[in-house]
Structure 1
Amino acid sequence: IFIFLVYEGTKSFYKEEDETLPVNVYGKSKVAAEQFIRTSCSNFTILRSSIIYGPQTVSPVPKSLPIQWIDSVLAKGETIQFFYDEYRCPVYVKDLVHIIQALSIRWISEGKPMQLVVNIGGPARVSRVQMAEAVAHVGGHKTSLINPVSALSVDRGVNSPSDISMDITKLIQTVGISPITFTDGVRLTLEC
């Protein structure tokens, strides 16, 4: 099961054993799902994920994907606001697939129930501005179109954690896979 936005967002590089204190209903529902699974199942893997990005699926998703959206806005020459003080560890979707495959192989080969909670994110803590800058560089767009603003200056109608960057040491030690950098993932995404 994938779990998002469970950390409070007041520090950097959360570890799996850190307390989950979500700041919105969405995160609270994810924590409730995680607690239900932990108490109801003897065999589980909970993946605490960050932003998942990558190429469009074979059956196109009607919702705009993050990298493609940023690229399209910058390609039109439109100035757009991005938060300089909201941090995530975006993970490339194909890394996520490889991680799930490795966990599945491990579970099958060991032949015993697994009870695992692991952070899954990219290797770096990046702000929304840094994400947009990476897309601009890879896509050949002007970075001057990126208008850095504070997340606190915008009322989104719901609280959002400032920094839910995650420590992925446990992930790397468990499956032996190091996710690619955000810039490399953007490059692979836009090449498709």
Structure 2
Amino acid sequence: MSAKKVLVVGGTGYLGQHLLQGFSEIQATTPFALAFTYNSFPPQPLLLAFPTSFAFHVDLKTGLGFDSISQQFGQPDVVVNCAALSVPRACENDPDAAISINVPSSLVNWLSSFAQSDNTLVIHISTDQVYKGVKSFYKEEDEALPVNVYGKSKVAAEQFISEKWSNFAILRSSIIFGPQTVSSVPKSLPIQWIDGVLSKGDKVEFFYDEYRCPVYVKDVVAIIRTLIDKWLSEGKKMQLLLNVGGPDRVSRVQMAEAVAQIRGYDSSLIKPVSASSPGCSN
């Protein structure tokens, strides 16, 4: 029996790299054929860490590069779409780019080209920023009312997938945290960023009135693997929408205080401010 094929779109990002790591750790008992996409160039440390994986350059705006995957890797049994323009400020500055990257039209169009296209499960990573943020502990059935371009682009992505694809799981993830990746990522990581700014000994502002439920990256990987195992073992198409968060509701101030306590930094460096304060963006 041939190994099942898993394609990680956005494999050079934070979650993407941890997914590749998670699959590599179980290759001895549950072998998968792995492939991942990259946007500009494949990081050498990643290629060395996962030498049996296929790496493909893909432009998500145009779809250029997907044909190479068809020819060299074939139709995947599972696609995990981690790719996104996820920095809210960058999305605000270029809404067109946010839509063209975050709505996976080129990916879905490519998958539709296969004769048995519904044999592929699409797991799409969305965000808790699809919600308005006026209450705590949102449920999946709550209305999506995003307040920024990033959230709006992710809602558009969810709608596109649910309308155009019949076999999917959409994960609305909160802030993802955890250890550093094999290859560095351009986007600043929340805990590493807090650690870096506090280590300099300067006072830093943190929101006391914006709350999230940070989720450990390996827990997200475990959820994705569970969904994949269910699809591959049962073969039943799914149409799932799931909120993915950690057990604790914390503010940015509380995150910073936790880092300061563990690392031995002076907690007086943490200056609580309101998220509505002029010029604040942490």
TM-score normalised according to structure 1 size: 0.79
Q: Which residue of 1 aligns with 2:126?
A: 3
Which of structures 1 and 2 has the larger relative contact order (alpha carbons within 8 angstroms, sep 6+)? 1
**Structural RMSD (CA):** 1.5
Following the alignment from structure 2 to structure 1, what is the Cα–Cα distance between the partners of residues 151 and 187? Answer: 21
Gaps of 5+ in 2: 1-123
Q: Does 1:99 align with 2:214?
A: no
Following the alignment from structure 2 to structure 1, what is the Cα–Cα distance between the partners of residues 257 and 272? Answer: 10
Alignment of 1:93-132 (within 5 A): 93-132=217-256
Deviations 1:17-72, CA, capped at 9 Å, x for gaps: 00000011111111011011111111000000011111111011133211111111
Following the alignment from structure 2 to structure 1, what is the Cα–Cα distance between the partners of residues 278 and 241? Answer: 33
Following the alignment from structure 2 to structure 1, what is the Cα–Cα distance between the partners of residues 213 and 278? Answer: 22
Give the SS at the match of 2:247: coil
Q: Which residue, 166, 170, 187 being the options, matches 1:42?
A: 166
Following the alignment from structure 1 to structure 2, what is the Cα–Cα distance between the partners of residues 88 and 33? Answer: 22
Write the letter of the residue equivalent to 1:60: S
Higher fraction of strand = 2
Deviation at 1:156, TM superposition (A): 5.2
TM-score normalised according to structure 2 size: 0.54
Give the SS at the match of 2:141: coil
Deviations 1:64-113, CA, capped at 9 Å, x for gaps: 21111111111111110000000111111111111111111112122110
Give the SS at the match of 1:46: strand
Write the letter of the residue equivalent to 2:237: P
Q: Which runs of 4+ in 1 moved over 6 A?
A: none
Write the letter of the residue equivalent to 2:272: P
Identity of aligned residues (%): 70
Q: Which residue of 2 aligns with 1:163?
A: none
Gaps of 5+ in 1: 161-192
Give the SS at the match of 1:132: helix
Q: Name the count of aligned residue pairs.
A: 158
Following the alignment from structure 1 to structure 2, what is the Cα–Cα distance between the partners of residues 8 and 58? Answer: 34
Q: Which residue of 2 aligns with 1:152?
A: 276
**3-12 or 101-110: bigger deviation:** 101-110
